[in-house]
Amino acid sequence: MEKEINVVICSLNSQYIHSSLAPWCLLAGLEEYVRDGINAGVVEGTINEAPRDVLERILSRSPTVVGFCCYIWNITEIFELVKQIKQELCECVIVLGGPEVSYHVGEVLQNTPFVDYVISGEGEKPFAELLLAICGGTEVAGIPGLCYRKGSEIVIAEPYTPCEIPPSPYTKRYFAALNGRIAYLETSRGCPYSCAFCLSGRCGGVRYYDMERVKKELLLLANSGTQTVKLVDRTFNAHRSRANELFRFISRWLHAIRNRIAELQSENTCRSKPQN
């Protein structure tokens, strides 16, 4: 690796109370596939705050590369933001990913010259490989899911749908940033169906995470200070027995918590009674 680069992974949420899992998945991918040479961090904002505020948080990190997680609710703001980044840092490399850009890459690269790369499909490994190529000054050809311009040609790759299970995004840095907001839990990726109206059917077959990992991550989230944990599986109950096992686990955990609360209340009541 020839140089160290600063990388910002940015997501614009619809409201402050919402968190975003995608940038932390990408960061976990960097920690899994890249050992050194990359100083990466996450910047979360909302579509309701002043774009300049988000821009200043990004620029304060002096980024070489900025990646954006693109969805239907934030794509307009992201296009405006990356334009401003290029005006301030013309050499900064802009990478887009997410469902809002994965399936019409040609249009995105044709109409938005300030975007350098688009990752189609899952991003943990392709994003890491792209950053390694940028660090080492090597060719990006062959990186799975990576779409880009090559002269007057637009190179479009198939959406990346790996077989392996992605690394866990639930790190100390994630929980420090969560700060009581709504949390999201992914227990599988992909979808067993191929509905014509839904992009999830184009994401490859379903892959289920190890159940012990799921239970551990659920407890981590439940004890993080958040009041709400939402499941983001494409079809959570497609595997009925697996879904029922997780429901039973949640039910037992809630029952144990209620019993413990009742015990503590009983102990406090006993202590507060006057002594004869």
* Contacts of 274 by beta carbon, 8 Å cutoff, 6+ apart: none
Residue ranges with strand state E in 136-198: 146-150, 153-155, 183-185, 188-189
For residue 57, give the H/E element and its range: helix 51-59
| Residue 268: predicted pLDDT | 61
Q: How far apart, in Å, are the Cα atoms of 22 and each of 11, 195, 264?
A: 8, 23, 39
| Residue 200: predicted pLDDT | 76
Helix (H, G, I), strand (E, B) or coil at 115: coil
Long-range contacts formed by 195-202: CB under 8 A, 24+ apart: 199/99, 199/102, 199/103, 200/234, 200/235, 202/103, 202/159
Q: How confident is the model at residue 195 (pLDDT cuts 50, 70, 90)?
A: confident
Q: Is the pLDDT of residue 266 over 90?
A: no
Q: At what angle do helices 22-33 and 124-136 cross, to 10 degrees?
A: 50
Q: How confident is the model at residue 276 (pLDDT cuts 50, 70, 90)?
A: low
| Residue 31: predicted pLDDT | 94
Q: Strand 183-185 to strand 146-150: parallel, antiparallel, or no bridges (unpaired)?
A: unpaired
Could you count the other beta carbons within 10 Å of the beta carbon of residue 197? 5
Residue-averaged pLDDT of the chain: 90
Give the position of tokens 């920690």: 31
For residue 95, give the H/E element and its range: strand 93-97
Q: Is the pLDDT of residue 1 over 60?
A: no
pLDDT by residue (tens digit) across 209-233? 999 999 999 999 999 999 999 999 9
Tell me if 184 sits within 8 A of 19, measured CB to CB.
yes
The CATH code of the domain at 5-155 is 3.40.50.280
Q: Is the pLDDT of residue 263 over 80?
A: no
pLDDT by residue (tens digit) across 129-169? 999 999 999 999 999 999 999 999 999 999 999 999 999 99
- Backbone phi, psi, residue 219, to 5°: -65, -40
206 or 253: which leads in pLDDT: 206
* Contacts of 134 by beta carbon, 8 Å cutoff, 6+ apart: 5, 64, 65, 93
Domain ranges for the chain, please list them: 5-155, 182-268
pLDDT by residue (tens digit) across 168-191? 999 999 999 999 999 999 999 988
pLDDT by residue (tens digit) across 69-106? 999 999 999 999 999 999 999 999 999 999 999 999 99
User: What are 184's strand-pairing partners?
Assistant: 230
Q: Which fold has domain 182-268?
A: Transcription Regulator spoIIAA (3.30.750)
User: What are 121's strand-pairing partners?
Assistant: 160
- Length of the chain (residues): 276
Claim: this prediction has a pTM higher than 0.75: yes
Q: What angle do CA 63, 138, 93 make, to 5 degrees?
A: 25
Q: Can you list the alpha helix ranges (DSSP code H) found in 89-200?
A: 99-102, 105-111, 124-136, 172-178
